[in-house]
Amino acid sequence: MIAENLRFSLNATVPVFVIMVFGWFVRRIGLLDDHSTAQINRFVFRTLLPALLFMDLSTADFRTVWDGRLVLFCMGVTLLSVGIAAAFSLLHKDRCERGEIIQASYRSSAAVLGIAFVNNIYGKSTVAALMIVGTVPLYNIIAVVTLSVTSPERKKDGLLSGTLKSIATNPIILGIIAGMAWSLAEIPQPVIMSKSIGYLGNMATPLSLIALGASVRFSAAKGRLPLTAGIAFIKLVLFCGMFLPLAIAVGFRGEKLISILVMLGSATTGSCFVMAKNLGHKGDITAFAVMLTTLCSAFTLTMWLFVLRSLDYI
């Protein structure tokens, strides 16, 4: 039984991280560089992930698959996670770096790894998209506010407008809205359209994982290990230890519990670095946090999956 549960856990996590290691390898041998990796990240974020979310949501019977309880749970836990991350950041003396600490501690790779893990285990599913509905808008709103308020180049004017613009132009949010609207309107999709969007959506997961692996930078360490080790512990262990039992007590099982696990315990997303830099931060803490949580999550996610599988919750 233990061997079977371990095999299940490894089958769910190892393929995802093999592709990430492949991304790191192709950058090491020069097939990808910093510029091309950044362009791939941008391409995936702006086109492929929205296409994937639209593809999953627009073809689903949204009235049937909608679970408001899951969405509200994800929103509530995200807000609590931000509060814990903010409390942890107060231990750091440099106020200008607290925004990076907060964002790196709570913001996970939910959009990328959530879909990858759920689909890898259960096949095509809309459950991960529901988790994304409850988290991604909050991720972006809170990140813009915290990074702007703590920025060394802080500008009070335009904070509200900048936050609203970030939400209104976020490609992932737009993909979710478009997919939900199409599903609720019950508009049939022409074959040409569905196949074209399918081609784009199917590229999202492998390309995003390759780009994530290629973004790993060991040189980002430079004296940041104690701080980022704390971030990694909060991100990969503490949140799961606190909120997974709550999710189980509420009654979430199977795909929904896997989505919550990925929301809580996946690595800090690479887009944190881009946002931190764009809002006037150095980005050193964020870069190392992305690297360390990405490396450690290969083990911690496997461990959490093994525990949940052994307890027969998934």
CA-only gyration radius of the chain, Å: 19
Token duo for residue 58: 């627009």
**For the whole model, what pTM was predicted?**
0.74
- Between 119 and 221, the more confident residue is 119
Instruction: State residue 246's pLDDT score.
Output: 95
Amino acid making up residue 58: S
Instruction: State residue 166's pLDDT score.
Output: 64
The answer, yes or no, to whether residue 280 has pLDDT greater than 60, is: yes
Which residue in 209, 241, 237, 242 sits closest to 293, CA to CA?
237
The answer, yes or no, to whether residue 227 has pLDDT greater than 80, is: yes
pLDDT digits (tens, 9 = 90+) for 197-224: 888 888 877 887 787 778 766 665 566 7
Spatial separation of the C-alpha atoms in residues 163 and 155, rounded to whole Å = 13
Instruction: State residue 78's pLDDT score.
Output: 93
**Parent domain of 162:** 2-310
pLDDT digits (tens, 9 = 90+) for 52-63: 778 877 776 666
Task: Give kind and range of the element (H or E) at residue 308.
Answer: helix 284-310
- CATH code for position 192: 1.20.1530.20
Instruction: State residue 113's pLDDT score.
Output: 65
φ/ψ (deg, to 5) at 280: 90, 10
φ/ψ (deg, to 5) at 261: -60, -45
Name the band, by pLDDT with cuts 50, 70 and 90, for residue 138. confident
Amino acid making up residue 260: I
Task: Give kind and range of the element (H or E) at residue 198.
Answer: helix 191-214
Name the band, by pLDDT with cuts 50, 70 and 90, for residue 140. confident
Task: Provide the domain count of the chain.
Answer: 1
φ/ψ (deg, to 5) at 108: -100, 175
